[in-house]
Structure 1
Amino acid sequence: MRIYRLISLFCAFTFAAPALADPTNLVFCYEDKDVAPMFLGVGQEVPIDNPGASIEILKQLDADIPIVTISFVRKPWRRCLNDLELNRVNAVIASYRAGRERFAVYPTNEKGVLLERFAVSRFSSCLIGRARFHKQWKTREVFQNKAFTIAIPNGYGLNSALKEEPFYIHNTFSKDKAFELLDKGVVQASVDLCQVDDLKVSSYQHKGSDVKPLYPPYETTDGYLIFSKQFYQQNSQLSKEIWQWLAHFDSAEIYVKYLQAVE
């Protein structure tokens, strides 16, 4: 009888173990463009080395939480959002935008208020320019509209307050091109990532230049790991565990490391 029970327990454990061991697959979608320091490389291939700070953080999360395994796919950003809505992918990193909660789940409290401590990243952007621009900016009230020419790289924008400022906007495909125009004096200002959490940083690579950020930042944005509604409904406890892990992980250190690597 005792032997029979031991055999029964062994069989039950043998068949149950694989089910318990199988991790939940989470398909994460991110942009197929180089958006440093978050994502590096272009196209659909996910770089093995130096994939970008956000991907490195998620790979560490994958290693630390055994009940989840993360698959990475790269697509145009709008397609990532569309696939999230259609449950073709499970998660993206995105800032809050009104209407996205219709198809995505953000970390919120019972009243629907965003919980900032669960953000993957907190980036602040500053205007940058030479000392002359800094001086003129302080007295800009005396200038007429469109007094300053500013280069805005793809992926950046001016918040509602700065849209009222006296700027003539020159859009560029990349940040490097915007910085090149600033170096040549074609424009008087540009924008740059200037703060990660509370750490002041810069991705401006041109040594010997007097181009500096203009503090305080004009915009601060939190990036959240958001889930499709279907994934969250099926894996709510896992989703909360992932957010908790992100809240305790020092992501700023990873982002700063990537910024320093290109200086």
Structure 2
Amino acid sequence: MKILSLFIFWLHLLLLSVPALAKETLTFAYQDSENFPYQLGNGQTIPTLLPGLAVDIVKLAAKRLNLTVKLVRMPWKRALVSLGANQVDGVFNASFKRVRERYGVYPMIEGHVDASKKSYANSYSFYGLKSSKLSFENKQLLPHSPKMKVVTIRGFSIAEDLKNMNVRVVEVSTVAEAFHLLKLGRVKVAAIFSLSGDFYLKKDQNIYRDIVKIEPPIKTKNYYLMLSKQFVRNHPKLATRIWQEIGKIRASGEINTLSEKYFSELK
């Protein structure tokens, strides 16, 4: 009887902890503008067949951890504010910035962000008209002018780097808008995620035939899932498991399999 009672006791604890947590719905937010191949489509709608590689990674990690995750899209700054207010449990596709730690928690190790738990790495590149003959050397656009207008996507961290280059920054909502301003001559150059910019140039070659990528890339950054402070405080072990699972998927060959359907679009 004692053995049976002890078994029932431990079974009761197990039922209280694991399944209850597994049934809890977590809400993760991400930006409402396209960034090929990591998030596709613009607006609040989440595409069914090709939502984006970063979305696929989060969904696969949740499935393996037996978690129910609700995904929502919103402007980036609103997503961070919602995270800070514990209105969402996580925000993904966030590069590391110390100032963002007021909103939520990155995967950390010994006081530094843990790159082994990143979702992916991505580069920013400049794009300009062929006729502009611009170059990017020693971290400076040439020929340089403090009046030069550079367009980028609203909320992206590269805006701060651009301002440090002493140029005028214009922010828009989508890559298509950025390239449109470039074609019209309203701006001199666009600063876009490299994969996303390349995708647009190849997808719509006739429309963007006058635009070229300027080498080398401006900067390469790692991107992470940030979790709310409340979630990490209440479920520290689960938070670690989520970050670890994302890191495993990214580091394994699985990410190549997941990405095939997106890069087939470039053929």
TM-score normalised by L of structure 1:
0.74
1:106-145 → structure 2 map (5 Å cutoff): 106-110=106-110, 112-134=111-133, 144-145=145-146
Q: In the superposition, relative to structure 1, how do residues 130 and 61 fare at CA in structure 2: closer, same or farther (>3 Å)?
A: same
- Classify the secondary structure of the residue corresponding to 1:250: helix
Tell me how far apart the structure 1 counterparts of residues 73 and 51 of structure 2 sit (CA, whole Å).
12
The answer to whether 1:179 aligns with 2:183 is no
**Percent identical residues:** 24
In the alignment, which residue of structure 2 is the partner of 1:219?
A: 219
In the alignment, which residue of structure 2 is the partner of 1:207?
A: 205
Match for residue 258 of structure 1 among 250, 256, 262:
262
1:1-263 → structure 2 map (5 Å cutoff): 18-19=15-16, 20-22=18-20, 23=22, 25=24, 27-31=26-30, 33-37=32-36, 38-41=38-41, 44-66=44-66, 68-93=67-92, 94-110=94-110, 112-134=111-133, 144-146=145-147, 148-156=148-156, 158-159=158-159, 162-163=162-163, 165=165, 167=167, 169-194=169-194, 202-204=199-201, 205-207=203-205, 209=209, 211-250=211-250, 253=256, 254=258, 257-258=261-262, 261=265
Tell me how far apart the structure 2 counterparts of residues 84 and 215 of structure 1 sit (CA, whole Å).
36
Would the aligned equivalents of 2:154 and 2:172 in 1 still touch at CA under 8 Å?
yes
> In the TM superposition, what is the alpha-carbon distance from 1:57 to its structure 2 partner?
1.2
Residue identity matched to 1:109 = I
Would the aligned equivalents of 1:130 and 1:210 in 2 still touch at CA under 8 Å?
yes
Q: In the superposition, relative to structure 1, how do residues 144 and 194 fare at CA in structure 2: closer, same or farther (>3 Å)?
A: closer
Residue identity matched to 1:206 = D
The aligned length equals 254
Q: In the superposition, relative to structure 1, how do residues 74 and 260 fare at CA in structure 2: closer, same or farther (>3 Å)?
A: same
Tell me how far apart the structure 1 counterparts of residues 116 and 133 of structure 2 sit (CA, whole Å).
33
Segments of structure 1 that go 5 or more residues without pairing to the other structure are none
Tell me how far apart the structure 1 counterparts of residues 144 and 65 of structure 2 sit (CA, whole Å).
56
Residue identity matched to 1:21 = P
Give the greater-gyration-radius structure (CA): 1
> In the TM superposition, what is the alpha-carbon distance from 1:193 to its structure 2 partner?
1.6
Tell me how far apart the structure 2 counterparts of residues 32 and 162 of structure 1 sit (CA, whole Å).
21
Q: Which has the higher helix share?
A: 2
> In the TM superposition, what is the alpha-carbon distance from 1:13 to its structure 2 partner?
8.2
> In the TM superposition, what is the alpha-carbon distance from 1:169 to its structure 2 partner?
4.6
Residue identity matched to 2:28 = C
Cα RMSD, aligned residues only:
3.8
List per-residue Cα deviations over 1:142-184 (Å, max 9, x = no partner).
66543x4443343446555543557455544432122123334
Q: In the superposition, relative to structure 1, how do residues 201 and 16 fare at CA in structure 2: closer, same or farther (>3 Å)?
A: same
> In the TM superposition, what is the alpha-carbon distance from 1:24 to its structure 2 partner?
5.7
List per-residue Cα deviations over 1:176-223 (Å, max 9, x = no partner).
122123334554422222159xxx954433315253222222132322
Would the aligned equivalents of 2:28 and 2:72 in 1 still touch at CA under 8 Å?
yes
Tell me how far apart the structure 1 counterparts of residues 3 and 135 of structure 2 sit (CA, whole Å).
83
Would the aligned equivalents of 1:125 and 1:217 in 2 still touch at CA under 8 Å?
yes
